[in-house]
Amino acid sequence: MLPWRNAYPARTTKAAESVTGVATIPVSVAQLRVSLGAYALSDDGDVVESAREVEDVVVPLAHTEGGLTASVQRGAKAVELSGGFVTHVVADRITRASCFVCRDASDALTLARWIGSQVDDMRSFLRASESSELSRYAVLREAKTHVVGPMCHVLWRWTTGDAVGPNMMTRNSYALNMAYVLPNAPVPIERALLEANMGGDKKPSFEFFQSGHGKTVIAEATLTDEAIERVLRTTAADLDALSWAGTHGAVASGMQSVAFTPASAIAAVFAATGQDLGMVGTSSMAHGTGRRVDGGLHASIRFPGLEVGTVGGGTGLPTAHEWLTLMDCAGPGKVYRFAQLVAATALALEISASAAMATAGSENFFRAHFERGGLRH
Amino acid sequence: MLPWRNAYPARTTKAAESVTGVATIPVSVAQLRVSLGAYALSDDGDVVESAREVEDVVVPLAHTEGGLTASVQRGAKAVELSGGFVTHVVADRITRASCFVCRDASDALTLARWIGSQVDDMRSFLRASESSELSRYAVLREAKTHVVGPMCHVLWRWTTGDAVGPNMMTRNSYALNMAYVLPNAPVPIERALLEANMGGDKKPSFEFFQSGHGKTVIAEATLTDEAIERVLRTTAADLDALSWAGTHGAVASGMQSVAFTPASAIAAVFAATGQDLGMVGTSSMAHGTGRRVDGGLHASIRFPGLEVGTVGGGTGLPTAHEWLTLMDCAGPGKVYRFAQLVAATALALEISASAAMATAGSENFFRAHFERGGLRH
Amino acid sequence: MLPWRNAYPARTTKAAESVTGVATIPVSVAQLRVSLGAYALSDDGDVVESAREVEDVVVPLAHTEGGLTASVQRGAKAVELSGGFVTHVVADRITRASCFVCRDASDALTLARWIGSQVDDMRSFLRASESSELSRYAVLREAKTHVVGPMCHVLWRWTTGDAVGPNMMTRNSYALNMAYVLPNAPVPIERALLEANMGGDKKPSFEFFQSGHGKTVIAEATLTDEAIERVLRTTAADLDALSWAGTHGAVASGMQSVAFTPASAIAAVFAATGQDLGMVGTSSMAHGTGRRVDGGLHASIRFPGLEVGTVGGGTGLPTAHEWLTLMDCAGPGKVYRFAQLVAATALALEISASAAMATAGSENFFRAHFERGGLRH
Amino acid sequence: MLPWRNAYPARTTKAAESVTGVATIPVSVAQLRVSLGAYALSDDGDVVESAREVEDVVVPLAHTEGGLTASVQRGAKAVELSGGFVTHVVADRITRASCFVCRDASDALTLARWIGSQVDDMRSFLRASESSELSRYAVLREAKTHVVGPMCHVLWRWTTGDAVGPNMMTRNSYALNMAYVLPNAPVPIERALLEANMGGDKKPSFEFFQSGHGKTVIAEATLTDEAIERVLRTTAADLDALSWAGTHGAVASGMQSVAFTPASAIAAVFAATGQDLGMVGTSSMAHGTGRRVDGGLHASIRFPGLEVGTVGGGTGLPTAHEWLTLMDCAGPGKVYRFAQLVAATALALEISASAAMATAGSENFFRAHFERGGLRH
């Protein structure tokens, strides 16, 4: 009865305990022209750009939403005619949010100051450890403390190489909590909690929206009036009006993340490439902007935390690996490239979906959905 | 080079335009004991419970996170020893958020009052239409207006049967905008925008968190002290302390959705059963609670909007259909059952993950991740 | 030592227990041209407009911020040249948020459904009561329930005549909780809490921002290009650009209330007229918009909940009464008039302050503050 | 007709342009026992505690809310019996949020990096300036940049001595924008906006809630069971249950600031002491906690940004100066003392108001309001 087949390789069947089958999602592709930055982490943990090149890249999209791939492709085509996407990696940090419950705020404040003073030593402690439990890929960058009541919340901020890194930073954070903070703290600690919600791990929050969790990436494009008319069948004025109403609609409904439909694109690339689908919601937090400029419209989207990896997790699954390879994003040294391509894909969809909504009565959007409704009811 | 195989059936290859391959995700299963309500929509659009039965159900989880299925199973076992989950469907509405831009707020207010007075007629209009473009499954329930500046935002609220329904409500909303509101409005309308962000379609917002989008579901369980100790290896006092610190951590970081890790479970069930993965973020919006009671701890989670369907979208894919069948959730008449099972699965994970964090130093959590880190780096 | 003077009348010295002195704040005035609606509550609790008239009204501003009154006056002058403000009262509700803690969510849901079915009877119960503790001014309009965990939160929604009404609705809500709900509830109730934070009483929240608390009021004006240039020394294009950047700045910083500086105006009118200064924060929640139109710029501000009264509270203080009288807003039947004037005053300041910021480098703003810095350091 | 009297001194009549009268608010007092820290700013801008002393201080409260002063006093008495309040100043920063609009995100990112590299030089530039327009009290501490679209938002973070400092930091920020950034920027800047909403000036936001604006202060107290019973007429268990339900009610209603009623206390002290009443909403942003401990209950409140001054603004008004003098908070060197007393006063009210709500049916609260309803309707 179960859709289980012996044909699947061990990478698939051993990906989790008690695997008994698979889920298979169709994948279609779109092609994007992108000016990609070449980035590397500095010793201080800054993301530094060293070069920039325009490429045409094929992006895989796993989904069953009729019209979605066509919409991404349409947005990408309009941008290509306008000179291509430009993408930037702005920062790289991922956070495990521990919490130490003390007797009172006085003690919690003392602990917070002490933790602030120990970050260099903590880094050395982790580096010096011989424990096989610790990950060398997860490098402690900062420790942000936030005292409320008797709680000293600590956001351990890490870089994690080419993996998303939740497990490696969990192990290292745990080591800091248990082997560094607890034995050495200047005040008694009643409870040490490894995770107490401040960090944004699979949980959208304003902290996540502003300070990030994963790769902070901006994608932008300046659409020409001609591309807007020929490909998107609308005008810069219409797009501008939609952006205005949509931003105020977002405010009126209390969106923390103000954009049009980034989650559709994020989910589709994540599902194709073996990313953690539990991170679709957080990685889709975004801030989109639109602005008329001479001869067209500037559009951009800022992702505070794309939780992407090119090694680890599901990226080793056979299909994921093949799709990552298609993008030249498989394996070490590719994570900033991959993050930029995810952002550009999302911007392509933002542009096309907005265009569909921007015309009188959103007639285009309606037709797109009506004619290509696919499997939808 | 592409992982494309001719072996896939047409349901898969025609799910989207230009499908050129697949993504395959391993699926493992957990078993839950749940008191499920039998629900039906009343004529007024209320969700009414008619019966209730305890069942043991197998739930499929598609993911590559080592330890996740084991954690769900552990939570489910603790709840089973305590008498099982109890789940409730509270409401059912999905929203398309249109916006009419008028000359000024005076006109927008006039329009809003008029729309409020026309809902019955609009319903008749849709019912009477012969257009094949319109869906009979999408029934207009209410129209909530919100005027800000010259904008009259309208949240068209629908029920959509056993499908999630974005396409069907899009078509019907468009018909209302273009064929009912525009020709009959008592004031001039400058722009009619089919979607302007207030409705929550793939966009988490406070409006979504409070008023819902999809099925509003609550799952709960009262854990016994014995189950907490034997299965979860912690105590009610420890769980209570974690819940307290975690709720304040959520507040401190500006989470709209306050729970521990619902997205992991939502994503895993969605990926297995052909749900729209772009809705993982919104459907994971949740409000979890924990409270000590005599002899144990009451735990619950409220999902304001599980965007789930048992027909349409990806549910017709071969693997999705098989996994839905395993849960007895395939096809018409099953959507409230499915929504309850999704919520119960998420609560199982909340309980187990919280237990892992609740002990001194969260030692259990660390071990769980360390020993079963699976494919993670 | 204390600044106490026997000269103060009894209304002042008996305003609170143990009054031992006074605080005196200077008041200056501005004049506004406003198209004011005449409003009355319908039997169903809707605010209905019956007439509209343009008036020139003097508004008192109590504050020590150099330049503030001049700025309000400048904005008002620009609007006057453009035809005047137009104001609308959209709704009128104030809320006491009680909470009943039950055994579990099942019971809480049963209670919620029951409360929903009893609102008419509750209204009759309150009307029929002979208790001198109850207020006839506070009329129950709706009861919104929200179940999370074992809690059944209830937002008792009231109209309260010409007073703000926190005390009268507190008394009546208490009566409902203790004398109606507790004895008649279909499930056991463990705790009845009169206030549990959902209602917005002196606490800004998204619920407050969207659903209101007090009078929901919109003020608008369509500025002409000439008035913008002559009075505000800027252009519609500059104002539009500032509005765009400011709205995105608001989003980026997580403002729930998106406007420029409404609190300055709200506080100044409130302090002059004896309103509750603890409500300055909530009453300042606002949603401002700006939009270029042919020949100028449309500006508006929506206040979801102006918590204003023309009777009760501090409105009976001698100075407050005189200032209210100056506005023709003292006593019964004036509260909707007063609410509209508060909103218009705030919009005057929004326009002027925005204009000061909208020019290159915000030179005007700087000069305004520099030259009229008043008592500020 | 106007309540104008020649008797007022020039400090009052010249506080703003065109002063034509006054508003007079009755003031009552409460006495608090507080362990106050002695704090000073380090060269790096950290707030450093050098000593701590317990004092009994009288706090003035200007308001017309019957029962408010009595409630503050009751809370203070319970705390006094329990050993007194303990208060902490955690940080001191105030922000002017400027924005530079560039051609695109590429340029905005270049500008952001450049600004980050120039902070030391900017500080020197301000120090070296001979301009009488600049304030030496406002010291630039950091510049936080946030790029979204073509906007480079900059949060200029200042310390401002004993004044709140909006005018002085406005002048200095303007100087930086116009005389430093614009002439030296490495990219073209299209617009320099002095204020674009990210900073929290009179505008509550998550950024404000977490990072502060003014003095970040925590007040705490550990109530004994005896004090809870004798003075507050309730129990630690009841207070704990109220805190739990109230925190979840806050989450459910989307409060950014989670506390019970801080605005009442903040407004009353601000009105008495000449603080800017337009800052009541922001300064009332707070995060309150309650937690059972052996023998009682720990209660605390964190204010991220108390915008208080002991010089400048309205503090020079005759009545304000007298009330500040009563608290030993008038003039230079007193602002951290004053901030702590404001926080302790608010916590006194939190405790008392919570106690009133915590008992069965909140009977006490009802009586308090009913019997001492004062001027309220």
For C216-275, the pLDDT digits (tens) are 999 999 999 999 999 999 999 999 999 999 999 999 999 999 999 999 999 999 999 999
Q: How far apart are CA C369 and CA B126, in angstroms?
A: 58
Per-chain mean pLDDT for chain B: 92
What value of ipTM does the predicted structure carry?
0.94
- Taking 70 as the pLDDT cut, the residues of chain A under it are 1-7, 359-377
CB-based contact B287 D248, cutoff 8 Å: yes
Tokens encoding C191? 């705790």
Given the structure tokens 């957990």, which residue do they identify? B30
Which of A368-372, B327-331, C350-354 is predicted least confidently? A368-372
Task: Give the pLDDT score at A360.
Answer: 54
CB-based contacts of D218, cutoff 8 Å, min separation 6: A105, A109, A147, A148, D87, D88, D90, D300, D301, D302, D303, D343
CB-based contacts of D334, cutoff 8 Å, min separation 6: D162, D310, D324, D328
- Asked if residue D86 has pLDDT above 80, the reply is yes
Task: Give the pLDDT score at D266.
Answer: 98
The whole-number average pLDDT for the span C314-343 is 97
Q: How far apart are CA D12 and CA D317, in angstroms?
A: 6
Tokens encoding C339? 């609410």
Q: How far apart are CA D230 and CA D227, in angstroms?
A: 5
Query: How does residue C367 score in pLDDT terms, banded at 50, 70 and 90?
Result: low
C350 contacts on B by Cβ (under 8 Å): none
SS (H, E, C) A320-361: HHHHHHHCCCCCCCCHHHHHHHHHHHHHHHHHHHHHHHHCHH
Q: Catalytic residue at C276?
A: yes
CB-based contact C272 D153, cutoff 8 Å: no
Q: How far apart are CA B103 and CA B189, in angstroms?
A: 7
Query: How does residue B12 score in pLDDT terms, banded at 50, 70 and 90?
Result: confident
Q: What is the distance of C-alpha C262 from the center of its chain?
A: 11
Query: How does residue C14 score in pLDDT terms, banded at 50, 70 and 90?
Result: confident
Gyration radius of chain C over CA positions: 22
Give the model confidence (pLDDT) of C48-94 as tens digits. 999 999 999 999 999 999 899 999 999 999 999 999 999 999 999 99
Q: Which of B28, B256, B267 sits opposite A278 (nearest CB)?
A: B267
Q: Are A63 and A268 in contact (CB under 8 A)?
A: yes
Q: Which of A244, A252, A287 sits opposite C251 (nearest CB)?
A: A287
Task: Give the pLDDT score at A17.
Answer: 72
Task: Give the pLDDT score at A309.
Answer: 98
Tokens encoding B52? 């209730």
> How far does D170 lie from chain B, in Å, by closest CA?
29
The whole-number average pLDDT for the span D109-130 is 95
The whole-number average pLDDT for the span D151-176 is 96
The whole-number average pLDDT for the span B155-175 is 95
SS (H, E, C) B177-241: HHHHHHHHCCCCCCEEECCCCCCCCCCCCHHHHHHCCEEEEEEEEEEEHHHHHHCCCCCHHHHHH
If one compares A160 and C362, the residue with the highest pLDDT of the two is A160
Nearest-CA neighbor of D75 among D364, D345, D372?
D345
- Asked if residue D324 has pLDDT above 90, the reply is yes
CB-based contact C251 A254, cutoff 8 Å: no
Q: Choose the catalytic residue: D146, D203, D298, D369.
A: D369
Task: Give the pLDDT score at D364.
Answer: 61
- Asked if residue D7 has pLDDT above 70, the reply is no
Nearest-CA neighbor of A265 among A352, A375, A345?
A345
Q: How far apart are CA B269 and CA C5, in angstroms?
A: 72
Q: Choose the catalytic residue: D80, D201, D207, D276.
A: D276
Nearest-CA neighbor of B355 among B240, B269, B253, B268?
B240
**CA atoms within a 13 Å half-sphere pointing along the CA-CB vector of D152:** 31
CA-based torsion, A67, A69, A75, A77: positive or negative: negative
Q: How far apart are CA A79 and CA A98, in angstroms?
A: 43
Q: Provide the total of helices (H) and of strands (E) in chain B, helices listed first.
A: 14, 9
Given the structure tokens 């453009």, which residue do they identify? C82
What is the phi/psi pair of residue D213, to 5°? -170, 95
Task: Give the pLDDT score at B18.
Answer: 77
Report the catalytic residues of B: 65, 202, 276, 369
Q: What percentage of chain D has pLDDT greater than the value 90?
A: 87
β partners of residue C35:
C54, C86
- Of C86, C147, C217, which to mutate for an interface test with B (greatest number of B Cβ within 10 Å)? C147
- Asked if residue D16 has pLDDT above 90, the reply is no
Per-chain mean pLDDT for chain D: 92
Q: How far apart are CA D359 and CA D377, in angstroms?
A: 25
Query: How does residue B179 score in pLDDT terms, banded at 50, 70 and 90?
Result: very high
Q: How far apart are CA B117 and CA D138, in angstroms?
A: 57
> How far does C103 lie from chain B, in Å, by closest CA?
9
Task: Give the pLDDT score at A200.
Answer: 87
Gyration radius of chain A over CA positions: 22
In a 3-state reduction of DSSP, which class is residue B82?
A: coil
Angle at A360 between CA A356 and CA A366, to 5 degrees: 45
CB-based contact D16 C374, cutoff 8 Å: yes
Q: Catalytic residue at A350?
A: no
Q: Provide the total of helices (H) and of strands (E) in chain A, helices listed first.
A: 14, 9
Q: Which helix (H) or strand (E) holds C34?
A: strand C19-41
Give the model confidence (pLDDT) of A125-161 as tens digits. 999 988 888 999 999 999 999 999 999 999 999 999 9
Q: Which of A248, A250, A258 sits opposite C289 (nearest CB)?
A: A248
**CA atoms within a 13 Å half-sphere pointing along the CA-CB vector of D228:** 24
Which residues of chain D are at the B interface, by a Cβ-Cβ cutoff of 8 Å? 206, 209-210, 244, 247-248, 250-254, 256, 258, 287, 289, 291
Task: Give the pLDDT score at B247.
Answer: 97
Tokens encoding D209? 């809630």
Q: Are B337 and B331 in contact (CB under 8 A)?
A: no
> How far does B66 lie from chain A, in Å, by closest CA?
5
pTM: 0.95
Nearest-CA neighbor of A33 among A5, A10, A54, A12?
A54
Task: Give the pLDDT score at D130.
Answer: 80
Q: How far apart are CA B335 and CA B41, in angstroms?
A: 11
Q: Which of D244, D252, D258 sits opposite B251 (nearest CB)?
A: D258
**CA atoms within a 13 Å half-sphere pointing along the CA-CB vector of C207:** 30
